[in-house]
Amino acid sequence: MPKLKTTVRYGQVDGGDLGTVWFAESERGLWRIEFGRTKDRFLADLSQDGVEAVEDKTRTAGTRKALADYFSGKSSRFDLKVDWSRVDGFIRKALQVCAQIPHGKTWSYAEIARKAGSPGAARAVGQAMAKNPFPIVVPCHRVVKSDGSLGGFSGGLHFKRALLRLESEAVA
């Protein structure tokens, strides 16, 4: 019997300096967040995930509101469930540690590696952050080099700077 294809519901929100922020959620929680992409590219990425995507403004209203509140500075936390089912091993450990970074704070790649139980794996943390399917909610933009410099960001450093600026303005 063939495996049933997972269906995800998707929507969008205005991310200010990030432009349109696309998101998708499965029955288990948040599946993917992307920005700096067209709708067609986002849907192609979902197709590569092997899921069927259905636009659903009603059932994604909670996620849309949480993201909109974040971008407008009304909220600094997310109470969204994350679907960890497709992330495993060290990547999952590193992302789960990353999810604990407080709003307005940064942790180093080395600090994440230590907290994930793999001291000395700072480069592997960087690779894990680059594969983060839940940016913003799992705040990989808050991960910096040990010297405090930005390091990398899969969406581009201009997006990392914009997110850190948004959070510092919300904290101030």
d(C-alpha 48, C-alpha 45), whole Å: 5
d(C-alpha 5, C-alpha 42), whole Å: 18
> CA distances (Å), 124 to each of 36, 84, 129, 153, in order?
25, 19, 9, 14
DSSP one-letter code for 33: E
* 140 classed as catalytic: yes
**Which position among 140, 143, 162, 163 bears the catalytic label?**
140
d(C-alpha 53, C-alpha 15), whole Å: 21
Active-site annotation, residues = 140
